[in-house]
Structures are given as structure tokens and as C-alpha cells.
A and B are shown apart, each in its own frame.
Chain A
């Protein structure tokens, strides 16, 4: 579905059902250089099990227009405008990687609009190596390869995503290649510059869930400890055998954890 957010067209996948603002709302926030389709199975399932689902394409990503927002804080302040456009008072935020930082910051800044937060592949600080950050600016194809290789713990996935016969690593690369030039650097620079994670986490009042990949080398579980310690009410789930691309590598385990939490 298309939303008009502050005069700009924003795309949100509603899980294959017409969005109903009267249902408990779950907003999915993708990570850097991605779009809504990383959530396809989890968002579709929840949309068919009693939730109103908005899996967003952030500004400048996927089908959404405009330029990418340059900081985690800016995206966090944009989320309430999305909720306004959709007629939603409060929603659960489910964020992956950069999206997880957005969920923390948004919950801290706009507590009345955020009912729960689920953080996947999260870390704070989310420092990006100089080599990768430079590559996102100067050599996107190389940066995309680096991120794609580091994001996957295996070259075989059962039963793959979104189903048997799909090559998860190939999909990961192509999805990044679909984003507009320049988006990748804006996103990674935003992750790298975000300094308020621990302070924001302390301000969060709502329940929180962390879903971490035990074999994640982008945001390893040890890098999520500061956030987990700062959040007042958090449960942490570590998924064996998963790297950073949790939703694609272990779709059922991610869904089951989300379902139990939401």
C-alpha cells in the first residue's frame, strides 16, 4: 500500500491483506541498503494472524520516494508520521540492524507511539569499519559483496527463503543492487554515527525482545550486551546457526520468537 507521509509517497507492504488500523499494528523497519521484502514471511504470517502489518520501504529505499534519511534520529522521528498517515496510535516496532537502532530511538523519543520493540541483528555502538564505510562511498559493488558475505553464516538454508529453491545469498546481493546509488553510504554512515543507543535504551519503557544470530559477524551477540543491559525489560533469543541475515537464514525461528513476543 502507498502512504502519504509528510507529502511524500511511502510504500508499505501490508502482508498480502488490506491494512486494518483497528488491529494491533506491527511496523517492520529494514536495515541498511534493504527494503520491505526482507520481512516477507514474518510480515505475511502476522498479517494473516490478527495483526495490521506495515513493512516499510524507508525513504529513498525500494518503492518509497525521496532521499534516504541521514540519521537514526531522523528515521525515528519519521516513524510517528508514518503511523499518523496509517491512522495508527501506537505500534510494535520490529527492526533489523539499522532498523533496530531506529526502534530503540523511536521508543525513547515517542513512548506513546511505541507499544513494544523487537531488535534483530542489533549492536551498539554499530561501528562500521573504515574499509567498509569507505567502500560504501567509493565502490558500492565491493561494499555490497562485503556486506553480503559477512551477513550469511551458511551457503545452504533449509527450507530457504522465501521458500525451497531460492538462493539466499543471491537474493541478498540483488536486493542491495536494486537500491539507488548513494543510499548505501547514507545508511552505513547513519549506523556508524549513531551515539545515543545506550542512553535511549535506558529511556525505553515498553517491553523489548532481542533476536541475535549466534554466528553473526556483522553484529555479534557480544556487541548487543550494552543495549540489553540498558533496556529495562528485555528478553534475548540467540538463534543457532544464523548470521546477520536472520529473517532469511532462519525464518521460522525468527517468526516463532516474534509471535511469542507480540
Chain B
């Protein structure tokens, strides 16, 4: 039966949250490079401060350019609100700090980006928030780690470094059975490859620095509120369901049945921690999002070609990519990631550290740097860079081999990428 339908992904990526500027007619999103915004009169000012009217006061709390990015990401993810932050790390911190404080506990996947692990394991512990790390594939471990003071379950949709595919529906069910939300880092998948809210997740974050921007020119993060989790029924979140002295006694759940989390995150977290996004950064990230669907399609098709090439190269011992039958999450990936498993993966080069070093030094098209999700192809050899102090045993404990190479496949002509890798692999075997 035909009926009305929502705009599709690419249309939302171009239009959600923005109309031609009502004052100037500008079609592109204008950069509102202004710290603050003039009140119409004193009553208007008071109403804005007291959340009786909607509008912008000060760009740490909200900004018209940044709001377009926030609303666009909420639309692409199918949530109720977005909050843009200074970095992906700031988005993770804002998400956790909004619903957890001293004495609270987090259950997190052990397959996390190193920065997230640092924040959870070392820094938040200093502030009284403790984390238990679990094997993301072990559903019993998730269940067993939940304590009376647990506030949230946290994981990556595609985990670092082995691309563990999170069984989002199963982990969400475990979280919800304990009346807890599931919070996911979706940086590697973007909403084009997976919409985790549709699979049961409740809160999402992105490092917008990566595929959302795609150009590698801006650091930023985005937090998305799914709007489905019932904080009141959970009974574990007085921050959202009881009057908050820091904002006129506001009970955020009373104010908004579906967006209490976002209200508190903005009215407390952005206001007080202050890790907001600059309007020029929001503009740059938005330029990337406009073509996200087109780029992700190309990222995935290039990655598939490079994976196939590497899998048959004699200098390569193994390739870890969930679309390969050898990957432990192959079946899950087919179910949850039908459009592809992203453009970041690892492979093991024969010859260990010396071969890895030689490969890196020989590559010409791939850039050797510590980032992923750029339009340009990137490479890093953890054993000789980020983890160079570790011996082979310590590396293995971290899930990394001496010959592990991580690639982030970009948008170049795929034949050039394969030629580049072919030459460097040949050279590596003479190291």
C-alpha cells in the first residue's frame, strides 16, 4: 500500500535542519560566527534563559550553524536531538557525565578506541565512575557485569582493533532488561551503514572528525539522543527525573517526555563543561555530511577491492574484515551491516615489525598518520608507532600483532591503492 514516506537518507543529508536562510536567501548553511545573539527585549531575554522560548543566547549553549548539524545528525540517525561537541571524546564525556557521577558504574566493551579506554579506565575513575570491561561477543559477560549502580552499557558498533561487530539487538535487550540504556560509538559505521537506534540502542556518539567530515580538516563530535529510553520507568536516573537545582528546579522528564536526556546534556553539560563545537567546524562537518551516502558507498567498494587484493597476496598472513568468512562476526555482519563493514580494517604482514616498518616507508599514496575516515587513504603500523614501547607479548594482549597494519581506505582510484600496496608489500618482504 503506497502512503506517505519520510525523506530518504541522501535528502536528509542535504536538507534536514536547514532551509535557505530566511534573511539573506543563502542556500548553503551560513557560518554564524557570533558568540552571542541580541535579545528583542528584556522579556524575550528572560524567556530564553528560562526555556520559555526557543532561541540562541550564547554559542557555548547553542549556535544556528551548529544547530543545523545537530538536527541533521538526529534526523539521519532517527533520534530526537543532537548535540555537537568539540571532539568525539567530548561527546563521549558529555554522554556519560549527563547520566553518571561519582559512585556510578559503566559496563563497556573491551574493544574500544584507545582514547575511549583511557577516559573510562583512568580519567573517569579519578572522578568516581568505575568501568568493567567485557568481551563484546560474550553476552553472559555483559549480563554478569551489571551492578546495582550501573548506569549505562557502552560499546562501538565496529570495535577497535579487530572490527568486532556488536550484536546491537542482543546487547540492547540485556541493557533494557536491567532498565539501562545502551550507548554506542558509531564512528566506524556512520548512519549510512547502520542506524543503531532502529536496532535497540538508546544513545549514540560519533567522532565527526572521521567519515562524517571525511576531509580530515576539522575535529568534532556529535551525541544523538534516541528518545525511546524511559528514564522515569527505569528509576535509576534522578538527574533526569527529579528537580535540578542548577536550572530553576527543572524536572527534565516533565519538560520533555522524549528528550529529557538532551535537555539536561545541553542545559548542564554544554553549559558547564563547555566542550562546544565552533560554528566554522560545524560548517565543515556539514559539507562532509552532504555527500556522506555517496562517499560511504565508494569507501566500501574500494575497501572490498583492497581486501580481496590483500587476501590473495603472498606477503599477507591474514586479513581481518567482517565481510570475509574467516572473520568471527561474518554472519552477524551480514545481518546488521548489509551495506558493508566500513573502510577501516587490519591485516597481518609476514615478517613482523621490520616488514611493517618497510611497508609504511614504501607506500606513496597511503598517508602514514594517526587518523581514520579521511577521503585520503591512511595507514598505520601500531608496533612501530602508537604501541612501539610494547614487546610482542604485550602487543598480543592488546590484540595487536607485530605485523598488524591498519588501513583506512579512502576514495582514490582503487587500482592506484592496490598498485601502491603491491609495491610496498613486495619491498617489505626484502626487509
Contact = CB atoms under 8 A, between A and B. Distances in A.
Contacts of B7: 155
Given A16-B255, A154-B19, A164-B67, A252 B54 contact: yes
Interface string B1-28: 1011111000010011111001000000
Nearest to B78: A170
B111 to A, nearest CB: 29
A170 B224 CA distance: 11
A149 B6 contact: yes
Interface stretch (A34-42, A69-77, A83-91, A199-207): A34-42
B4 A150 contact: yes
B266 interface: yes
Interface string B74-106: 110011111110000000000000000000000
B75 A169 contact: yes
Contact of A35 (B62, B83, B257): B257
Given A164-B64, A165-B62, A175 B81 contact: no
Interface in A186-225: none
B291 to A, nearest CB: 18
Q: Could you say which of B12, B74, B79, B266 has the most chain A C-beta atoms within 10 Å of its C-beta?
A: B74
Q: Could you say which of B19, B83, B249 has the most chain A C-beta atoms within 10 Å of its C-beta?
A: B19
Given A44-B50, A159-B54, A159-B55, A165 B71 contact: yes
B227 A171 contact: yes
B53 A45 contact: yes
Given A45-B52, A155-B16, A174-B227, A37 B258 contact: yes
Interface string B36-75: 0000000000110011111110000011101110110011
A167 interface: yes
B17 A48 contact: no
B16 A165 contact: no
A157 B263 CA distance: 17
B47 to A, nearest CB: 6
Contact of B257 (A142, A164, A175): A175
A165 B66 CA distance: 8
Q: Chain B, interface size: which category? A: 35 or more
A251 interface: yes
Interface in A145-166: 145-146, 149-150, 154-166
A171 B78 CA distance: 10
A41 B227 contact: no
Given A251-B53, A255-B53, A142 B3 contact: yes
Contact of A146 (B3, B249, B257, B259): B3
A40 B78 CA distance: 22
Contacts of B257: 35-37, 62, 175, 178
Nearest to A252: B53
B385 interface: no
B54 A164 contact: yes
Interface in B241-292: 248-250, 254-259, 262-263, 266
B339 interface: no
Nearest to B4: A149
B4 A165 contact: no
B117 interface: no
Contact of A44 (B52, B79, B83): B52
A257 interface: no
Nearest to B19: A156
A170 B258 CA distance: 9
B228 interface: yes
Contacts of B66: 164-165
Given A40-B256, A45-B53, A164-B70, 15 more contacts: A37-B255, A40-B255, A44-B255, A131-B1, A145-B4, A162-B255, A164-B71, A165-B262, A166-B259, A170-B74, A170-B75, A170-B80, A171-B258, A175-B258, A252-B53
Q: Which 7 pairs across A and B sit closest by C-beta, in order of nearness?
A: A167-B74, A45-B52, A164-B67, A165-B70, A164-B62, A174-B227, A149-B4
17 contacts: A16-B50, A16-B250, A36-B257, A37-B257, A44-B255, A131-B3, A149-B4, A159-B62, A160-B67, A162-B263, A164-B63, A164-B64, A165-B84, A170-B75, A174-B80, A251-B54, A252-B53
Interface of B: 1, 3-7, 12, 15-19, 22, 46-47, 50-56, 62-64, 66-68, 70-71, 74-75, 78-84, 227-228, 230, 248-250, 254-259, 262-263, 266
